[in-house]
Structure 1
C-alpha cells in the first residue's frame, strides 16, 4: 500500500526555514516564519501565561477528559473576548479545537455537511493552509480580488465585483483583522458593504480571526467580526490563541457557530461536538485552561492585556521605522502602505525574482509572494532590510 502514496507539495515556509538555517551568513534576517519575536529574536512566554500555568499546576487535581466541546469556561471567555455583547451567549455554539487550524478544518467540515454544493469564496491571496485544506476536502474554491499590489491596500472595488457572483448557500471566508499575508484590512465602511452583499445573496460568512490585539487593539480588531455577527443570520468564526497569548505549541483554538435564532444552537452544538468526536475526540485542554484562567482573573487579564499592547505598539513602531527609512532611501512615499498595514505581516507586492535577489544578495528571507513578518525585525535590522529592498530594485 505505501508504495502507492504520492509525494506531497513541500510547504514553502518550512522549506524557507531550512534554507535560513543552512545559510552561514551572520547578518541574515528571517522574515518568513509566522511567529512573534521580541527585539532579542525570542518568542517569549508572556508573564500572565507563566502565572496561569503556576496556578493550574498548584490547583489542578485531575487530567481526566474534558467534554467533547472542551472546557465551558474557556468557550465562554473566548466568545466574550471575540464577540463582546454583539450577540447573546445562547446564540453561539462552540467547541475547543487544536489551534486555529483545527477550527478552520472543523468549520469547512461543517459547511460540507450543511451544504455539499457550497462554494467557498477566498481572498486572493490568503493563508495558504486555507487553500490546502479546502483542496484536501474536495471543496469548490472561488478566489475574490483582495490585495492591490500598486497601492498596497485592499482592492475593494474588485472584491465587491467578485462577490456579486455569490449564490445562496455559498460561503465567504474573511480575515477578522491583520490579514495574512498582506496586512491590509477592511475598514468599517467596507465591512458594512460586504455584509450587505452577503445578506442580499444569502451567503454564509466565515471569519478566521487569528491576530486579535495585534492590529489596533483588542476591541478595535474585533469590530468587523462583531458587526457581522450582529447583522447576519448565521456566521462561523475560527479563533486562535496562538499569537495573542503566545501559546503557539499548545494548539489552542475555538470554533463558533452563531445563529440568529437561539433555538438552533442545540443542533449546531451537537453537530460541532460530533465533528470533534470523529476527528480527534476530546480536544486538548492545557492551552484552553491557560486562556480561561487569564481571562477570568482580573489581575492576570490586565497584565496580559498590557503586555499584548506592548507587543502591538512594538510592531507599529517597526512599521513606522521601516516606512520612514524607505521614504528616505527612495525619495518617495510609495512604501507608506507598510506603516498603514496591521498585524505581523505585510506584502511588498513585488515579484518572486526580486524576493530571491534579496535573499541571494542580502540574506533577506521572506516568502516568495513577498510576504514578510514585521515581527522578525528589530530597530537594528530595519535599515538593513530597507537598503536591501532599494538595492534589489523593488
Structure 2
C-alpha cells in the first residue's frame, strides 16, 4: 500500500536550511528560516519564559488532560492580549497546535459553516497558507497585494481584489508584519478594508503571527481590534511562537467573534469538536507558560521589556541596512527596508540574483528574495548590503 504514495515536493524553506547547514564556508548568513535570532545567532529562551517554567515546575501537581478547547485562563489571557477589552459575550475560542493549527482549524470551521465558500488570499502570502488550502481541496483566489516597483502595498489593486469577494466568502488578512513582504497597510487603509468587508459581507480571517514585532503590542493589534469591533463575524488565528519565543511548544489560539448567546455556544462547540477530531486535547505546556506570564504583573512587565528589546533590535538592523545600501548604491531605492515591519522584507530581487548572492557570498534567502531581518547582526549587515549591490538588485 505504501508504495502507492506519491513523492511530495520538499518545503522550500526547509530545503534551504539543509543547503545552509551543508555549506562549509566561513561567514555564511542564514536569512531564510523565520525565527528570531539574537546578535550571536541564537534563538534565546526569554527571561520571563524561564521564570514561568520554573513556577510551573514547582506548582504543577498533575499532567491530566485539560479541556478540548484548552484551559480557560489561557484563552482569556490571549483574548486580552489580542483584543484588549475582549467582548466575552461574542467570543468563542480554542487552543491550537501553534498558529498553523489555528489556521487549519479556522478554515475547517469556516468550511463547516459554508461548504461553498471561496477563500481570498494575498499575492504573495505565507506559502503554507496556499499549501493548506490546496491540501484541503479548498477553492481560493489571490488578490493583488505587493507592488514590486515600490516594495509597498499596491493598495488600490488590493482593495479592488478583496471587493470581489461575495457574502459567505472568506478574506484572509495578515494582521501585522506581512509575511513575506514586510509591507503593511496604513491605519486609514485598514479602515477602507473594513468598509469593503462590510459592503461585501465576506468574513475576515486574520492571521496574527507577529504581534509585538512591528510597532508594539497594542499598535500591531490595532487593525485586528478595529475589524473585530466593526464586523459582525471575524476569525483570528494567533501564534505565541514569535512574541514569546516558544516555537517548539506549538502554542496558538483560534478566536471567533460572532453573535452572542446560542450562536456563540454553537461556535464554541464546533471548535471543541474540531479539536477532538484532529488531535483531541491541545498541548498545555506552552499555553500554561503564556497564561502564567500574562497573569503575573512582574513577569508580564519583564516579558514586554524583552519583547521591546527584540523589536528595537530588528528596527535598528533595518535602519543600518537601508543606510548601508544608500551609501553603496548612491540611491534611496532601498529605503523601503526601513519602513517595512516585522521579521521579513521582500527585496524585489530575481531568483537569479538570489542565487548569485548564495553562490558568491554564502547568503541564503528564499528564492522570492524574502529575507529574515532577524538573521542579521551589525557585522553581517555590510556583507549583505555589498552582496545586494554586486548582484545588481
* Residue aligning to 1:347: 346
Secondary structure in 2 matching 1:94: strand
What is the distance in 2 between the residues matched to 1:136 and 1:112?
Answer: 14
The answer to whether the 8 A contact 1:149-1:350 is kept is: no
Contiguous gaps of at least 5 residues in structure 2: none
What is the distance in 1 between the residues matched to 2:199 and 2:190?
Answer: 14
Structure 1 residues 339 and 295 mapped into 2: Cα distance closer, same or farther (>3 Å)? same
* Residue aligning to 2:91: 92
* Residue aligning to 2:68: 68
What is the distance in 1 between the residues matched to 2:157 and 2:259?
Answer: 30
In the alignment, structure 1 residue 36 sits paired with structure 2 residue 3: no
Kindly report which structure 2 residues correspond to 1:129-144, keeping only aligned pairs within 5 A, or say none: 129-144=128-143
* Residue aligning to 1:26: 26
In the alignment, structure 1 residue 154 sits paired with structure 2 residue 153: yes
* Residue aligning to 1:55: 55
What is the distance in 2 between the residues matched to 1:267 and 1:78?
Answer: 21
Secondary structure in 2 matching 1:205: strand
* Residue aligning to 2:315: 316
Shift, 1:350, TM fit: 1.5
TM-score by length of 2: 0.99
What is the distance in 1 between the residues matched to 2:256 and 2:87?
Answer: 12
The answer to whether the 8 A contact 2:89-2:260 is kept is: no
* Residue aligning to 1:15: 15
In the alignment, structure 1 residue 271 sits paired with structure 2 residue 231: no
What is the distance in 2 between the residues matched to 1:80 and 1:164?
Answer: 31
Secondary structure in 1 matching 2:89: helix
Q: Pairwise CA RMSD of aligned residues?
A: 0.7
Secondary structure in 2 matching 1:102: helix
The answer to whether the 8 A contact 2:249-2:286 is kept is: yes
Kindly report which structure 2 residues correspond to 1:294-305, keeping only aligned pairs within 5 A, or say none: 294-305=293-304
Shift, 1:306, TM fit: 0.2
The answer to whether the 8 A contact 1:91-1:260 is kept is: yes
* Residue aligning to 1:127: 126
In the alignment, structure 1 residue 225 sits paired with structure 2 residue 224: yes
Secondary structure in 2 matching 1:254: strand
What is the distance in 1 between the residues matched to 2:90 and 2:167?
Answer: 22
What is the distance in 1 between the residues matched to 2:236 and 2:160?
Answer: 24
In the alignment, structure 1 residue 369 sits paired with structure 2 residue 368: yes
The answer to whether the 8 A contact 2:163-2:197 is kept is: no
What is the distance in 2 between the residues matched to 1:352 and 1:235?
Answer: 37
**How many residue pairs align between the two structures?**
393
What is the distance in 2 between the residues matched to 1:10 and 1:100?
Answer: 21
Q: Deviations over 1:362-386 (max 9, x none)?
A: 1110000000000000000000000
* Residue aligning to 2:292: 293
Contiguous gaps of at least 5 residues in structure 1: none
